[in-house]
Amino acid sequence: MNLTELISLEDRYQLLTYKKFPLDVVRGKGKYVYDSEGKEYLDLYGGHAVVSIGHCHPKLVKAIQDQAEKLIFYSNAVYSPIRAELSKLLVEVAPKGIGAVFFSNSGAEANETALKIARKFTGREEIISMENSFHGRTVGSLSVTGAKKYRDQVRPLLDCKFVPFGDLESVRNSISERTAAVMVEAIQSLAGVYMAKQGYYQGLQKLCEEKGALLIFDEVQTMPGRTGAMFACNNWEVTPDLITTAKGIAGGIPMGVTFVKEEIAKTITYGEQGSTFGGGQIACAASKATLEVIQEEKLVENARSVGEYALKIISEVPKVKEVRGLGLLIGVETDLPGGEVQKKLLSKGILVGTSDHPKTIRLLPPLIIERTDIDRFTNELRKIL
Ligand SMILES: Cc1ncc(COP(=O)(O)O)c(C=O)c1O
C-alpha cells in the first residue's frame, strides 16, 4: 500500500479528529523513526512526549515480552507482584509527602481522578485553573482546560474559574473557602511552552494551604524526567497535594498515574475510584522498565544538560524570537508560521511538534538525544529561517 492509498484508507474509516503529518511511521529505534520506504527521521517530537526512553529500547521490549508470556492482564480484583513493585518505585521517586498512587490509562483520566479526590477531600466544588492551559478531552478535564478552542464546542461544562497563568495576584483574588483545588500545568506546553517565574509555584502552594484548597500539578508531559528533574515540581521545591502524569511514564504503553499525598491517601476507601485497565500488568512492567532505564542511563541528567545546551544554541539563531522551556520541553518561537517550519524540517528528516502559539514549534524528544542532534536541528532551522 503506498502512502496515498494508506491516507485514503485510514481517513475513510477513522473519525477525522487528528491533523496528521503526511507520513507513515512503521518502525522506530532509539531517537529515530522510519517510514515504509525506509527513510529515517530524527524524532524530536517523541510521539508527543511519549517515547521517553527512545523507540523500542531493548530493556522495555524485553520487559513487555516477558510479562506477556507470564500474564497479559488481570484486574484490580487481585494482587499483582509487578503492580506492587511499580507502586513502590513510583512513591519512592516521588516528592517527599506523596504516599500512594492510583493507576489509570491516560492523562485525562489521571486529571479526572485528581479532581474527584480534591472535591471529595475538601467537600468543595470550585476549581481554579489557568487561562490557555490544557488538561485533556474528557468532560471533567476539559472543564479545567483554559484554552478556549477545546472547550467552546462542548457546553455546559463543570464550573471552573480561570486566571492568567503566572499571575499569583489573580489566584490570591480568586481563591476562597469555596475552592477545592488550584490546578496548574507545571509548564504550559500546548500553549507554546510557558513557564512561570521563580516563586510562583511556591506561592500557589502557600495560598492553597491558607485556604484549605488542594494544589494539583498536571505533570502529564513533564514527569518522568523531561524537565531535568524526575518531577517538574522538584525544580521549585514544591510538593503538590496531587500530581498527575501519563505520556512518557510507561515508554509508550498507555498509563495514567495520580500521585496522592499521604494524609489524603489515608482518607480514600474501597469503591471511591476504579479503572478496569488501570495498573494492568503489561503497563506496569513497561513503566517499571522505563523508570529503571531512566535511572540507569541517567536520562534525567541528560535531559537537563542537553536541554541547557539547546536553549543556548537555538537562541543564537538569527530570526529565532524566543526559546522557552526547561530540559527537553522546548518551544522555539520564530517569525514564520509553526506549521511551515515543521513541514520544512520534516522534508529534512526531522520531526517536531507545533503548538497553540501560531509561530512556536515544540521539541518533546526522547530523553536520550544528544547535543549533536540539537546541532543538526539548529543548522536546519537556521537555513529555513
Ligand atoms: C498537560 C497535559 N495534560 C493532560 C493531557 C491529556 O492526556 P491524554 O491525551 O493522555 O488524555 C495532555 C495531552 O496532551 C497534556 O499535555
Q: Are residues 139 and 155 in the same domain?
A: yes
The CB of 229 under 6 Å from ligand 1? The reply is no
Same domain, 105 and 151: yes
Question: In this structure, which residue's CA is closest to atom 13 in ligand 1?
Answer: 136
* 285 and 313 assigned to the same domain: no
Residues linked to residue 360 through DSSP beta bridges, in sequence order = 333
Q: Does the beta carbon of 251 sit less than 6 angstroms from any atom of ligand 1?
A: no
Same domain for 160 and 278: yes
Q: Distance from the CA of 335 to the center of ligand 1, in angstroms?
A: 27
For the cut 90, the answer to whether the pLDDT of residue 319 exceeds it is yes
pLDDT of residue 155: 85
Q: What is the pLDDT of residues 193-234, one digit of tens each?
A: 999 998 999 999 999 999 999 999 999 999 999 999 999 999
User: How far away, in angstroms, is 218 Cα from ligand 1 center?
Assistant: 9
Rounded CA separation 201/243 (Å): 13
User: Quick one: how many helices (H) and strands (E) in the chain?
Assistant: 14, 14
Cα separation, 284 vs 148, whole angstroms: 35
CB atoms within 10 A of CB 320: 17
pLDDT average, residue stretch 132-139: 97
Point out the ligand 1 atom lying closest to the alpha carbon of residue 133: 1
107 lines ligand 1 (CB under 6 A): yes
Weakest mean pLDDT among 148-152, 332-336, 360-364, 374-378: 148-152
The fraction of the chain above a pLDDT of 90, given in percent, is 97
Ligand 1 pocket test: which of 115, 195, 220 has the largest number of ligand atoms within 8 Å of its C-beta?
220
Given 276, 296, 316, the domain boundary residue is 296
Give the largest Cα separation in the chain, rounded.
61
Q: What is the pairing mode between strands 179-185 and 27-29? A: unpaired
Ligand 1 proximity of 334 Cβ (cutoff 6 Å): no
Dihedral of alpha carbons 51, 57, 60, 61, sign = positive
CA of 355 to the centre of ligand 1 (A): 13
DSSP secondary structure of 27-95? EEEBTEEE-TT--EEEESSHHHHT-TT-BT-HHHHHHHHHHHHH-S---TTS--HHHHHHHHHHHHHSP
Q: What beta strand segments (E) does 177-319 contain?
A: 179-185, 214-218, 242-245, 256-261
Asked whether residue 248 falls in the same domain as residue 198, the answer is yes
Q: Exposed, middle or buried by CB within 10 Å (0-12, 13-18, 19+), for 33?
A: buried
Cβ of 106 less than 6 Å from ligand 1: yes
Cα gap 252→311, rounded to integer Å:
26
Regarding whether 255 and 135 lie in a shared domain, the answer is yes
Amino acid at 359: K
Which domain-ending residue is among 254, 269, 296? 296
Length of the chain: 385
121 lines ligand 1 (CB under 6 A): no
Does the pLDDT value for residue 154 go beyond 90?
Answer: no
- Identify whether residues 71 and 46 lie together within a single domain: no
Whether the pLDDT of residue 80 is over 90: the answer is yes
Which long-range CB contacts under 8 A does 33-41 form with residues at least 24 apart? 33/351, 35/3, 36/3, 36/6, 39/349, 40/349, 41/346, 41/349, 41/350, 41/351
Q: Is the pLDDT of residue 39 over 90?
A: yes
327, three cell numbers: 530540559
pLDDT bin (cut points 50, 70, 90) of residue 369 is very high
Compute, in angstroms, the gap from residue 319 CA to the centroid of ligand 1: 31
Phi, then psi, of 230 in degrees rounded to 5: -55, -45
Instruction: Please indicate, yes or no, whether residues 210 and 359 belong to a single structural domain of this protein.
Output: no
**Ligand 1 contacts CB of residue 236 (under 6 A):** no
Quick: pLDDT tens for 4-27: 999 999 999 999 999 998 899 999
CB 327 less than 6 A from any atom of ligand 1: no
Burial class (CB in 10 A: 0-12, 13-18, 19+), 344: middle
Domain count, the chain: 2
In this structure, what CATH number is given to the domain that contains residue 41? 3.90.1150.10
Mean local confidence (pLDDT), 188-193 = 98
Dihedral sign (CA 108, 271, 276, 286): positive
Which DSSP category does 353 fall into?
B
Which whole number is the average pLDDT over 13-42? Answer: 96
Residue 209 sits in the same domain as residue 341: no
Q: What integer is the mean pLDDT of 305-328?
A: 98
The whole-chain average pLDDT of the chain stands at 97
For residue 94, the CA-to-ligand 1 centroid distance in Å is 20
Residues 118, 81 within the same domain: yes
**Which of 271, 296, 321 lies at the terminal end of a domain, its last residue?**
296
Distance CA 242, CA 259 (A): 5
| In a shared domain, residues 121 and 268 | yes
Give the model's pLDDT for residue 115. Answer: 98
Pocket of ligand 1 contains residue 329 by CB under 6 Å: no
Q: Is 254 in the pocket of ligand 1 (CB under 6 A)?
A: no
- Check which CATH number belongs to the domain holding 129 and give it: 3.40.640.10
Summarize pLDDT for 245-265 with one digit per residue, the tens.
999 999 999 999 999 999 999
CA distance 275 to 325: 33
- pLDDT tens column, 159-174: 899 999 999 999 999 9
What is the position in ligand 1's atom list of the atom closest to the CA of 108? Answer: 11
143 and 12 in a single domain? The answer is: no
Q: Is the CB of 220 under 6 A from ligand 1?
A: yes
Closest residue by Cα to atom 8, ligand 1, is 107
Structural domain span for residue 244 = 59-296
Instruction: Work out the end-to-end distance of the chain between its first and last CA atoms, rounded to an integer number of angstroms.
Output: 35
Q: Is 135 in the pocket of ligand 1 (CB under 6 A)?
A: yes
pTM of the model: 0.98
